[in-house]
Homo-oligomer: A and B are copies of this chain.
């Protein structure tokens, strides 16, 4: 850990230019603040922010900082939830921002800074600093979309570094599945730039290097550009809210829907009554679709969609949904208690309001965990029973991606709860929950947010010693320099 000197900042300035470097005390003195503060978890203090505009500049910055022993924290959209994108409190770490990294060197001078679209290959080539919303704004008029459906609006580099999943994973997979190539810069003496940007769908000629950098929070190297798979924008969709008969019925419904709808099924999301209630409280304009306003204990949002516009000759997706639900209902012990077919936008508005809703329902303790699909509801049932005994007065207001086993397990504590004054209370609650997830249900303590400062401890506890040793050696092979605060070994 080396504190950068004024000379270091001058050298970095030579590499990235005036626009590329933010020094402490520059302008009003608070230019660093947005880069020091993470969306949900804490904040730190940056020695500087360096904002390279090209992969080549990233290379020169990494080589220089490696030589000087300066730690760089890669920061993409800074919308992550595990504290991976902000510096620590020491004031010695620099932030490597993706703000200006929106171009791709795969283009020529006239197209630099643009997104390159290869329609025949169904791919785009983008800089790591491009925002998801900008990518989709570019694609939508062409009839395509990058199919990772998130509440947040991250930049592509960070999405790859955390391997985000989202609400339509069931149909489209995660970022990993949709990343066909990356350009990556290593934190080594040369700032080695590795180009794996062929954009091929089938290619097995040695190690598939991109997978080492996907999901590892930038610790092994900084992704500067990528080739991404894109898909046709859906032209038809329908959604329904299903009320399962009981908890065991949830998985039964999932299997039934998968069998009967195939890949028309593009989302299968679970919402707890508590989370729905929190959303209604926070966003009063949301329509309550339940008879008498009475929120069922657990509700599933299922979506069907297709890439073509409905033809006269064929059944609409609304009709397919009705037929399928009728088929399921026919069964004597149907797993279904009730179903509401409605406007997809309204249902998704409710779904997307959950996240903000639970944030306002009390002191939020959030977990991003995952299970084998069949264990998700069992874990919930266990928690519903055990949590009140172990931690009374803590409300479960979870929602999740039942179709892929991902669960946003949120706990809410009254803001005036005196236990919040005890600094050990939340850590011990978190440790207890994660232990149940990992040890009792063989689940993951980080489904789609990867590793950051806030779950480093769980990585340390639950990763076998030998695996950590190997990870440290691989880190040392690829990027011996200091990238971020996460320690894999």
Interface residues, chain A, with chain B CB atoms under 8 Å away: 118-123, 143, 162-163, 165, 169, 173-174, 176-177, 192, 194, 198-209, 211-212, 214-216, 220, 232, 251, 254-255, 258-263, 306-308, 311, 313-315, 319-320, 323, 370-374, 401, 404-406, 442-451, 458-459, 462-463, 466-467, 470-471, 473-474, 477-478, 488
Contact = CB atoms under 8 A, between A and B. Distances in A.
B200 A370 contact: yes
Contact of A313 (B199, B306, B319, B471): B319
A443 B200 contact: yes
Given A200-B443, A262-B263, 16 more contacts: A163-B208, A198-B442, A199-B372, A200-B447, A204-B448, A205-B445, A205-B451, A206-B215, A207-B212, A207-B215, A209-B467, A212-B212, A259-B307, A260-B308, A261-B308, A262-B306
6 nearest CB pairs, A to B: A120-B374, A211-B211, A203-B444, A202-B447, A263-B263, A262-B307
Contacts of A406: 201-202
A462 B203 CA distance: 13
24 contacts: A118-B374, A120-B374, A121-B372, A121-B373, A121-B374, A122-B373, A143-B259, A165-B202, A198-B372, A200-B372, A202-B401, A202-B405, A202-B444, A204-B215, A204-B444, A204-B449, A204-B450, A205-B462, A206-B471, A261-B308, A311-B323, A314-B315, A470-B477, A474-B474
Nearest to A458: B205
A120 B251 contact: yes
A465 B262 CA distance: 45
Contacts of A405: 121, 200-202
B208 A214 contact: yes
A444 B198 contact: yes
B466 A204 contact: no
A480 B106 CA distance: 36
A110 B177 CA distance: 36
Nearest to A166: B202
Contacts of A209: 467
A323 B315 contact: no
Contact of A174 (B202, B206, B370): B202
A176 B203 CA distance: 11
A483 to B, nearest CB: 14
A449 B263 CA distance: 29
A7 to B, nearest CB: 30
A232 B206 contact: no
A374 B200 CA distance: 11
A169 B229 CA distance: 14
A319 to B, nearest CB: 7
Contacts of A450: 204-205
Contacts of A173: 177
Residue among A203, A260, A474 facing the most chain B CB atoms (10 A cut-off) = A203
Nearest to A489: B206
Contacts of A260: 308
Contact of A201 (B202, B214, B404): B404
Nearest to A212: B207
Contacts of A206: 215-216, 451, 459, 463, 467, 471, 488
Contacts of A262: 232, 263, 306-308
Contacts of A448: 202, 204
